[in-house]
Amino acid sequence: MLNLLRMKIGLVMLIGYFLILVSQSYAATPDSEGYLRIESVTISLMPGYADVHVEYELEDAFRVLAFMFGENDIKSRLLQKLAFSNVSVLSMNYTAADLQVYDVQPVYGDGLYWFPAHSFGCEIPEVVISTNLSTEKYENISALENGIVYY
């Protein structure tokens, strides 16, 4: 009975080690975005903050590793690619995350807010920015060149 348990533990460790080696080879290939690829970002500008919904895809090997060892590496990789400086993660799973960004600043004290220009850490296929008055859609961008004033 004890030998069977040791064999199972050894097999799980061997599979985990193999997945780590395979995933590192994915990350080492040129022009690779690693194991996490952002598909879309939706930014809803609110008074004083921005709600951000991110949809992404994980390589299958990392799904297994995240299930086994937790999501901390996925979270740090996601935040690195989004490159927001003042952010809280509200929820996160294997395909999407919801964040709040507090880089928004009041302008002139009249209920106007400023969402500053921003450079992402990668190219994002689709970015949608919405305020209470308008919605703008961008494709294949790595930066929001101009800030946005809204109320």
Residue 110: domain span: 34-58+71-150
pLDDT in tens, 123-142: 999 999 999 889 999 999 99
Backbone angles phi, psi at 63, to 5 degrees: -60, -45
Which of helix, strand or coil describes residue 70? Answer: coil
Is residue 29 in a domain?
A: no
Domain tally, the chain: 1
Q: How far apart are CA 62 and CA 48, in angstroms?
A: 35
More confident residue, 1 or 124: 124
Is pTM beyond 0.95? Reply is no
Beta bridge partners of 137: 128
Q: How far apart are CA 52 and CA 68, in angstroms?
A: 27
pLDDT in tens, 65-108: 777 777 788 899 999 999 998 999 999 988 999 999 998 888 87
* Matching residue, tokens 């859609």: 137
Is residue 98 in a domain?
A: yes
Confidence of residue 30 (pLDDT cuts 50, 70, 90): very low
Backbone angles phi, psi at 3, to 5 degrees: -65, -35
